[in-house]
Copies of this chain bind each other. A is one copy, B any other.
Amino acid sequence: MATIKDVAKAAGVAISTASAAINRSAPVSEEVLAKVAEAVRRIGYVPHAAARSLRSGRSNLIGLVVPNIANPWCGAVAREVENACFASGYTSVVYSTGQDAARESQVLEMMRLQRVAGMIVIPTRSDAAHGAALVNQIHVPTVLLDMQVEGLPFDVIKTDNVEAGRLATEHLLALGHRRIGIIVGIPGLATSDDRLAGYRKAHTAAGVEVDEELIVTGGFDQDIAHRAALELLQREARPTAIIAISNMMTIGLLFALRKLKLAVPADISIVGIDDLEFSAILTPQPTAVATPILPMARLAIARLLGQIEAKQAPAGKIEVHRPTLIVRDSTARH
């Protein structure tokens, strides 16, 4: 494959001159500029990113660490990141953690191997122990998306998860529901815990006592949430409404309802947190608390690129975006 040496030879200039012409990194005469450009075109020269990054010490790789790239929610983030990277001459490399801390550690190691210039990370855990482990593994500008990690000094872009849980619950309480089930994810995970906290907060505000029995753990997967929902729905004293705290969990819940032939919202009301892109074609259309994932993703990558280019340290700033309740047909008065 053609190298810059070939370009230099073809253009009849020194290698360093060719480099300067290609990168416009030093003054070069119009004449030489044209000769080099022509040579590049003729030879079909494309610089070698690895060599470039090795010498310059600057990488053009941006790491994206998500729970699961097959999840459309993550896909949307990836798309935004990819777009922004492309526009700025970076290339994104994506890895999925499967929401598993050990795997996350391996993935971060890979990122280190590739010497990414910076990372956007949706973490697997949010506790201090996890933060302590991670702080030694991350040596590049990083922006945490969707979730804060205790003790990690990076910028965070997240949703107000307490508010998200509160909005969903408040809506159901206002409709007269008093036995509201909630399927949470992994305990100890901030997104999950916070949304549950919002659930409690709404209850307190309404003066309704929380029945701890109605809080079930479902994991963030569709399958596990599905099983948890089945269990919850088949109890003697069934809740009159259920909240699922993530998109995949909502699908699992809807599947369980379908299986048990329960009518929504006649038999039971449903609220999902995180909206489903295809909710318009569901029957009934699910009431949901939407989180502004696209703007958040865009902001995250913009922040990251800013930190990389300006070599400015992260402010450790936590930016919280407001979720919004979208009332549709899956919730009714009780």
A72 CB within 8 Å of chain B: yes
Contact (Cβ within 8 A) A50 B115: yes
Give residues of chain A (149-167) contacting chain B, Cβ–Cβ below 8 Å: none
In the complex, the count of this chain's copies comes to 2
Contact (Cβ within 8 A) B93 A91: yes
Query: Of the 9-residue stretches A35-43, A74-82, A191-199, which lies at the interface with chain B?
Result: A74-82
Produce 1/0 per residue, A109-128, CB < 8 A to B: 11011110000000000000
Residues of the B chain whose Cβ atoms lie less than 8 Å from the Cβ of A47: 113
Contact (Cβ within 8 A) A1 B139: yes
Give residues of chain A (49-76) contacting chain B, Cβ–Cβ below 8 Å: 49-51, 53-54, 59, 68-72, 74-76
The residue from B72, B82, B95, B258 contacting A82, defined by CB atoms under 8 A apart: B95
CA separation between A281 and B106, bound complex, in Å? 35
The residue from B75, B91, B109 contacting A72, defined by CB atoms under 8 A apart: B75
CA separation between A154 and B59, bound complex, in Å? 31
Residues of the B chain whose Cβ atoms lie less than 8 Å from the Cβ of A75: 69-72, 74-75
Residues of the B chain whose Cβ atoms lie less than 8 Å from the Cβ of A49: 50, 113-115
CA separation between A94 and B82, bound complex, in Å? 8
Residues of the B chain whose Cβ atoms lie less than 8 Å from the Cβ of A258: 280-281
The residue from B68, B91, B280 contacting A110, defined by CB atoms under 8 A apart: B91
CA separation between A251 and B94, bound complex, in Å? 27
Contact (Cβ within 8 A) B91 A114: yes
Q: Which residue of B lies closest to A1 (CB)?
A: B139
- Known contacts: A78-B94, A79-B68. The answer to whether A50 contacts B59 by CB under 8 A is yes
The residue from B44, B51, B93 contacting A54, defined by CB atoms under 8 A apart: B51
Minimum CB–CB distance for A111 against chain B, Å: 9
Nearest 7 interchain pairs by C-beta: A50-B50, A283-B283, A70-B79, A254-B281, A70-B75, A75-B75, A72-B72
6 A-B contacts, Cβ less than 8 Å apart?
Answer: A46-B112, A50-B53, A79-B96, A91-B113, A91-B114, A254-B281
